[in-house]
Amino acid sequence: MRILMSENRYEPGTALLPRWIVYAYDALMNRRWLDGFLCIGFTGRYGGLRFFSRCGYPADRIFPFLHLVEPPALPPPSRTRVASAATPYQVLFVGQLIPRKRVDLLLDAMAALTDIPWRLTLVGTGELRDELQRQAAALQITDSISFVDTLDNAAVFQLMAQSDVLVLPSRFDGWGAVVSEALTSGLPVVCSDRCGASDLLVNQANGFVFRADSAADLEKGIRYTLTSPEVIKGKALRDWSDKIAGPSAADYFVDIVDHLAADAKSAKPRCPWLETRTA
């Protein structure tokens, strides 16, 4: 049995047409012998199902999948608290400081959150660091932001245990493994609708998916995730994240193989992390 796995490649912009041509050629050459396709970053307007099916891969042979991450050893902290000036909400970004990640958009959104106390930690390095520091100064939020160089996984998980929300504001990410890492830590997430890992954010119950490139929608998502009692956090979110853990994904993969072995005549197997979504 031959199964292909790929991240979503639907990145709007000038790269889309040449990328579509490459993948359409691959589909023309390979779909005759291909039994199935595991698509990492599946749903939505910018999802891989839309991209790869339009390239020529049969939609009924494309299945949602994900990047698996090692869960943290730390116990999930309690997330029930009221922020104050002395103990503000902790907002976390982990990634490269490059244009595609839209950290500038995150700074604009944070500057608009004037009615709730917050502190933002940016973990990572990149070409935009100096420019982002100047932007923070112009927005008069420098004192509320910490720039931290790249950390190892253990240190990142320590920060996640001390944070209230992780934000991934990218204009495009085929997946975004940091989203999976946050959820398995019990930390809710805000990410754009052009991140493949938005597949994991269920009906605003464990975070919020905002419209890419919209600072207003990003502000709304951060505010909602920090303050809404409807958002699951801590141990409840860690328990939910069993759906995206290795054993669950392995069982789901076996179901896909069984489905394909039966010549795909039965209903598609249910994807554990998508089964509670309504959109």
pLDDT at 79: 60
What gap in Å lies between CA 166 and CA 94, rounded to an integer? 8
Contacts of 22 (CB under 8 A, 6+ apart): none
pLDDT at 276: 61
pLDDT at 147: 98
pLDDT at 30: 86
Alpha-carbon distance values, 177 to 162, 183, 279 (Å) = 19, 10, 22
What gap in Å lies between CA 247 and CA 255, rounded to an integer? 12
pLDDT at 117: 96
Query: Tell me: the pLDDT tens digits for 196-255?
Result: 999 999 767 899 999 999 999 999 999 999 999 889 888 899 899 999 999 999 999 999
Helices (H), 59-214: 103-111, 129-138, 153-161, 177-184
Give the global pTM: 0.91
Segments in the chain below pLDDT 70: 75-81, 203, 276-279
Q: Phi/psi zone of residue 155: left (φ > 0), alpha (ψ -120 to 50 degrees), beta?
A: alpha
pLDDT at 162: 92
pLDDT at 279: 39
Contacts of 25 (CB under 8 A, 6+ apart): none
Domains of the chain by range and CATH? Answer: 3-68+245-261 (no CATH), 89-239 (3.40.50.2000)
- CA geometry: angle 265, 266, 271, nearest 5 deg: 125
